[in-house]
Amino acid sequence: MKSIDVNVSVLDRNNRIAAEVQAGLTERGIRMVNLLGSPGSGKTTLMEALVNGGHFAPSELAVIEGDLYTAQDALRMKALGVQSVQINTQGACHLEADAVRKALDALDLTGVKTVVIDNVGNLVCTSEFLLGEHLRVGVSSVTEGNDKPTKYPLMFQTADVVVLNKVDLAPYTNFSVEQFCADVEGLNPGVPVVACSALKGQGVEELAALLK
Amino acid sequence: MKSIDVNVSVLDRNNRIAAEVQAGLTERGIRMVNLLGSPGSGKTTLMEALVNGGHFAPSELAVIEGDLYTAQDALRMKALGVQSVQINTQGACHLEADAVRKALDALDLTGVKTVVIDNVGNLVCTSEFLLGEHLRVGVSSVTEGNDKPTKYPLMFQTADVVVLNKVDLAPYTNFSVEQFCADVEGLNPGVPVVACSALKGQGVEELAALLK
């Protein structure tokens, strides 16, 4: 009996394209960051905080916005003077490298030093797909609860940097920062965890240093 | 050239099983509720609040916990004296009706009036799959931001009840309850929106009345 493992071949093809995308950017001296996290973990607000805090010059940054249908997040980048391109997945739960390659072609990368992929809000599916990034940043927020690393390990295992966002709300929740950090360390020893409040600008300077 | 639409046939098969599951429960006088939402939106905490508030007798309730790998949420139900069964998806992003059918077979449904499916935390993929539920409850929390209905419409469009959770944190965020409710109404006219704080027990009585 023959069987075809569709998942493996889809991932193989994706990862081959991702490697090509990454090599092309490296050659041009451009760094790509893949920003992952649940819906509402604060990925776009973190981007706003990085620009508003003066850590990234708008002209040196370009953003690929992954979204199911809308262009809301791309409009937020436009308001900051940051070049962006929208990938609408038409309901699909993650981005793939081929779509990122096309998005990069649609950007004017002259003078751009950093491209950020603001991924679809999804703590499960997005982590499975390499997109050509040089750095993978997993964003989790205090209000999601400290059990997220053990319940949804892949994002935390594959991240180069973990952001714990919305720490300003910690006093109003039952979140344990110690437990969260211990669980992340267990899944991905040595990965830096940056405590941030994107809305209040807290921790953003430390994050910017890790992204550059 | 031949083509096979894998997605459609997978969904067709799923929906056929879902209809059978629902019919079997209806015949036994049991109501099934499918609880959907982002990771950390508060689905399991809502279940705890419903039991702790005396709105569901533990013996009349059974919970199907959908999780990628762990049994953490099933243990929270066990601590309340509520019968539960764990479906570990081994990394998959949603539950399917066939797994729910097997989970129901593993429960002792004698005296049970309500079965709740505490779905995988995912605002995208879970909404596509009917699981045999009589009532679909979409949970979104204030801390996720008020743009979630327009950005992730399917859960809000297919819900019979929408829970807006963590309203106790609204004063510390830039969340607009009016915008959220207007957007939900636009996507799903007439759907009830219940403002809750599962942690503080707020709105739980109103939710209980809608679930029964």
> DSSP strand E in A68-144: where?
83-88, 114-118, 135-141
Contact A153 B124 (CB under 8 A): no
How many other CB atoms are found less than 10 A from the CB of residue A106?
Answer: 12
In this prediction, residue A6 carries a pLDDT of 57
**Residue B185 pLDDT greater than 70, yes or no:** yes
Q: How far apart are CA A200 and CA A180, in angstroms?
A: 21
Answer whether A124 touches B (CB < 8 Å).
Answer: yes
Whether B181 contacts B32, CB under 8 Å: no
**Residue B3 pLDDT greater than 80, yes or no:** no
How many other CB atoms are found less than 10 A from the CB of residue B165?
Answer: 29
In this prediction, residue A212 carries a pLDDT of 86
Nearest to A150 among B70, B143, B199 (CB): B70
Q: How far apart are CA A198 and CA A175, in angstroms?
A: 18
3-state secondary structure of A27: helix
In this prediction, residue B5 carries a pLDDT of 59
Q: Which tokens belong to A65?
A: 């916005």
Nearest to A39 among B68, B152, B168 (CB): B152
Q: Which tokens belong to B48?
A: 């705890």
Q: What are the beta bridge partners of residue A135? A: A33
Q: Taking residues B193-210, report their average pLDDT.
A: 97
Give residue B79's Cα distance to chain centre: 20
Q: How far apart are CA A166 and CA A180, in angstroms?
A: 14
Q: How far apart are CA A212 and CA B63, in angstroms?
A: 46
Instruction: Say which residue the tokens 């889809």 belong to.
Output: A10
Chain A contact set for B122 (CB, 8 A): 93, 122-125
Nearest to B150 among A70, A125, A150 (CB): A70
In this prediction, residue B121 carries a pLDDT of 96
Residues A88, A94, A99, A101: is their CA dihedral positive or negative? positive
pLDDT per residue rounded down to tens, chain A (212 residues): 444 555 668 889 999 999 999 999 999 999 999 999 999 999 999 999 999 999 999 999 999 999 999 999 999 999 999 999 999 999 899 999 999 999 999 999 999 999 999 999 999 999 999 999 999 999 999 999 999 999 999 999 999 999 999 999 999 999 999 999 999 999 999 999 999 999 999 999 999 999 98
3-state secondary structure of B185: helix
- The percent of residues above 90 in pLDDT, for chain B, comes to 93
Burial category of A134 from C-beta neighbours within 10 Å (exposed 0-12, middle 13-18, buried 19 and up): middle
Answer whether A157 touches B (CB < 8 Å).
Answer: no
What separation in angstroms does the CA of A164 have from each of A38, A43, A98? Answer: 12, 11, 29
What one-character DSSP code corresponds to residue B28? T
Answer whether B76 touches A (CB < 8 Å).
Answer: no
Mind listing the pLDDT tens digit for each residue in B34-90?
999 999 999 999 999 999 999 999 999 999 999 999 999 999 999 999 999 999 998
Tell me the pLDDT band of B1, cut-offs 50, 70 and 90: very low
Q: How far apart are CA B92 and CA B74, in angstroms?
A: 18
Mean of the per-residue pLDDT values of chain B: 95
Contact A91 B154 (CB under 8 A): yes
Q: Taking residues B116-125, report their average pLDDT.
A: 96
User: Helices A97-106 & A6-27, crossing angle to 10 degrees?
Assistant: 30
Question: What is the complex's ipTM, to 2 decimals?
Answer: 0.90
Give residue B176's Cα distance to chain centre: 23
Whether B101 contacts B25, CB under 8 Å: no
Contact A150 B72 (CB under 8 A): yes
B163, HSE (Cβ side, Cα atoms, 13 Å): 33
Contact B173 A169 (CB under 8 A): yes
Chain A contact set for B174 (CB, 8 A): 199
Answer whether B93 touches A (CB < 8 Å).
Answer: yes
Instruction: Say which residue the tokens 């982590």 belong to.
Output: A127
Whether A194 contacts A207, CB under 8 Å: yes
In this prediction, residue A5 carries a pLDDT of 59
Q: Taking residues B168-184, report their average pLDDT.
A: 97
Answer whether B166 touches A (CB < 8 Å).
Answer: yes
